[in-house]
Amino acid sequence: MQNFKVVIGMYNNLPYNASGALYEQTYQGAWRPFLSGLYKFLSIKSAIYFSGAIFPWLEENHPEYMYLLVEMVRRGQVELLGGGLYNPLSPLISAQDMTGQVESLSAFIRKTTGKRPSGAWLYEYSWSSSLPSILQNSKIQYTFLPAEYFPNVEGGMEFGLPVTSEDHRKVITIFPTFESKDSENSFMPYENTLTDLQESYPECKTFIIMADGNEISMSWEKSGLESPDVLFERTFAWFQKNCLEYDTLTPIQLHKTTKSSRIVYFSQCYSRRFKEYCKKTINRLPIQNQEYIQISKQSVLDHPLVHVLYQKLNYVSTMIALFRGDKSRKKASIDDIWKAQCGDLFWIGPCGGILIPEARIAAFSSLIEAEKTIRQSRFRPYLSFDDLNFDGLKEAIFQSSVYNCYLQSGSASVSEFDSIKTGTNYACGWNDDQFSTGCFKDYIKTEGNFERDLIAVERWNMVENPREESSVLFRREFSARFEDRLLMLLCRKTYRFRNDFFSIDYELSNKNTEACLFRFCTNSEIIAAPIFEDHRFELLHHRESKALDLRSQAFFETVDGIGLSNVRKAERVLIRSDLPFSLLAKPNFLKKPSVSPQVMDVPSDSLMFEGFSIGIGWDLSIPAEGTAFFSLSVHLEH
């Protein structure tokens, strides 16, 4: 007689529009060997979750895999789980969007396999109190949360039984789930995990054991076997050999034969790795009792790159909610928004998350496309003000038929610079050393130096309604002591917007009774494409341009402008100045998460390109009570 009921499965999340190489690596290291190994053992059953971004890739690149998967689903050996179409973090999106994503993935699975999913997988186990009604409305009967969140049921009742949760009279069953990983968070064979769990929970007779496909593909080599195929064949052979003791089930079979032990109202739940990331990120702020805050949203605000994407997502979602007109256009815009809600983009996950350049660029491109879809045919440029980053201060937003430009009030910098034609946000480069993104952040440094700071010109005051239309004025007074001299300056920074370009005019007034000498710098993190080799970087001097192979840090004097373009797209960003400047430029690379931190000489294909750091500096000598004027202009050329 079989004494234990066991569900084994694999869940798979990858960012929308991540590189084909990342998809192929995970396919060869986890998806293919798992399914092909399982196919040889008809008596072993399993559960699999694929996010909606993976299915189109499989249909295009490995249709034979889809044929095999559909066959195994129809014969009852594999249960495909539903969930969010683009694996969103449920607390970060609206109930309406979550419902739409769950329903869309369920509809796809039903159309492909003929069976509607009864269970849903939550990305990183992200739970919100409204999920029972959301899932029940989509005919989802059960979901999964980490076993560590479940109460140790007393009174003779078995530990490991599912519980139910309710929202507005809509009830959902929740199964306690264990991760198949070792103490180093690497994948561990299912049979080894099961043996360890039996020792830790001798009273438990039911186990649900799931594994992350990404972790499988990155860690199977530690097993010492020649391929992941052998790894999974050994696992399934072990379960078949011990079939008299262990009965492998699909979740729907377990749900039909198991009753819930009690009702539990969970507040917030996440995977252990996501909680650790949030704790590390939130620790940048002095918040002592993190159990009282919504950690997923707080971590979004505390990472600059994630925050910029999140504020863009919320702004575009609001605009589309207000749109009245063609329903097909609105539906297309909503689908673009869903792509940008991919949970991988709102933290630095196992695959790199927001730091994966192709995923980050694609997310902004989806949101730009959503904006374009709902625009009227005759779109006129306009300047508006809204609190984008929820700090109580309004930010400036300029939109035209050529570009969008979002300004951050506190730093008077550009947080987003979108090309409407190519759907590229050129301001989403990332400097991990400085923990910085965005363009035209200003600093005052010592003369002839890009390294030694006198003061960072932050905490600007924005003047919403200057006399000139389509312009935004920032103002800042500051003082700093340097080498027994007092530096007292009044800075005015004015953005002037036109349909196809914008300019940044600087006015620096010396308020001291002595002349002052310093370098005024503005730094930008710029990216045009996810691949370094697709960039063309140009140096402009008078009317001549010179292409540079910028593979390492470089310094140039008396520069009139720079150009950056994606060689695959007929578009170039030009930054010109009316006053020659010094230039410090360098590319930024990060190791892929699969590369060990101990590896020093990392091959180029194991690096992620994060964009260029561009430092522009003017050496200024301003007499007492004097003023200096200079400006930059930013153009998009097609």
Q: What is the pLDDT of residue 93?
A: 94
The whole-model pTM stands at 0.92
Q: Which of 343, 394, 402 is nearest to 52 (CA)?
A: 343
- Please count the CA atoms within 13 angstroms of the CA of 244 that sit on its side-chain side: 2
SS3 label, residue 131: helix
Average pLDDT over residues 112-127: 95
SS3 label, residue 382: strand
Q: Do domains 4-270 and 421-637 have the same CATH topology?
A: no
Q: What are the residues whose beta carbons fall under 8 Å from the beta carbon of 296, sequence distance 6 or more?
A: 89, 91, 92, 126, 268, 270, 274, 278, 346
Burial class (CB in 10 A: 0-12, 13-18, 19+), 542: exposed
Helix/strand/coil percentages in the chain, nearest 5: 30, 35, 35
pLDDT band at 221 (very low <50, low <70, confident <90, very high): low
Q: What is the pLDDT of residue 127?
A: 94
Instruction: List the beta bridge partners of residue 83.
Output: 121
| Per-residue pLDDT at 392 exceeds 70 | yes
pLDDT band at 27 (very low <50, low <70, confident <90, very high): very high
Average pLDDT over residues 557-572: 92
Average pLDDT over residues 78-98: 94
| pLDDT > 90: percent of the chain | 62
* DSSP track, 462-521: EES--SSTTEEEEEEEEEEEETTEEEEEEEEEEEEE-SSEEEEEEEEEE-SSS-EEEEEE
Structure tokens at 55: 């299915």
Residue whose entry in the numeric block shows the structure tokens 């159309």: 111
Measured between alpha carbons, how far is 21 from 29 in angstroms, rounded to an integer?
A: 12
Structure tokens at 35: 């399914």
Confirm if 412 and 438 have CB atoms less than 8 A apart: no
Residue whose entry in the numeric block shows the structure tokens 């500096």: 617
Average pLDDT over residues 423-439: 94
Q: What is the pLDDT of residue 598?
A: 39
Q: What is the pLDDT of residues 437-467, one digit of tens each?
A: 999 999 888 888 888 776 766 688 888 666 6
| Lowest model confidence (mean pLDDT) among 61-75, 78-92, 384-398, 575-589 | 384-398
Average pLDDT over residues 342-366: 92
Structure tokens at 636: 């998009």
Q: Which of 313, 314, 279, 308 is nearest to 296 (CA)?
A: 279
Q: What is the pLDDT of residue 599?
A: 39
| Per-residue pLDDT at 520 exceeds 50 | yes
Q: What is the pLDDT of residue 515?
A: 86
Q: What is the pLDDT of residues 262-320, one digit of tens each?
A: 888 888 899 999 999 988 888 666 666 667 788 888 888 889 999 999 999 999 999 89
Average pLDDT over residues 20-37: 92
> Taken in order 388, 389, 393, 398, is the CA torsion positive or negative?
negative
Q: What is the pLDDT of residue 118?
A: 95
What rounded mean pLDDT belongs to the chain?
89
The CATH number given to 421-637 is 2.70.98.10
Task: Tell me the residue type at 166.
Answer: E
> Taken in order 77, 12, 363, 392, is the CA torsion positive or negative?
positive
Confirm if 510 and 627 have CB atoms less than 8 A apart: yes
Confirm if 552 and 586 have CB atoms less than 8 A apart: yes
Q: What are the residues whose beta carbons fall under 8 Å from the beta carbon of 176, sequence distance 6 or more?
A: 144, 145, 146, 147, 149, 150, 160, 161, 162, 208
In 10 A of CB 574, how many CB atoms? 18
Indicate the CATH number of 4-270 among 3.20.110.20, 3.40.50.10860, 3.40.50.300, 3.30.70.520: 3.20.110.20
Q: What is the pLDDT of residues 595-609, one digit of tens each?
A: 444 334 445 567 899
Instruction: List the beta bridge partners of residue 616.
Output: 522, 583
Q: What is the pLDDT of residues 43-56, one digit of tens each?
A: 999 999 999 999 99
| Per-residue pLDDT at 244 exceeds 90 | no
Q: What is the pLDDT of residues 137-168, one digit of tens each?
A: 999 999 999 998 886 644 334 667 899 999 98
Measured between alpha carbons, how far is 439 from 456 in angstroms, rounded to an integer?
A: 14
| Per-residue pLDDT at 424 exceeds 90 | yes
| Per-residue pLDDT at 195 exceeds 90 | yes
> Taken in order 397, 404, 367, 586, is the CA torsion positive or negative?
negative
pLDDT band at 328 (very low <50, low <70, confident <90, very high): confident
Domain ranges of the chain: 4-270, 272-302, 421-637
Q: Where are the beta strands (DSSP E) in 567-606?
A: 572-591
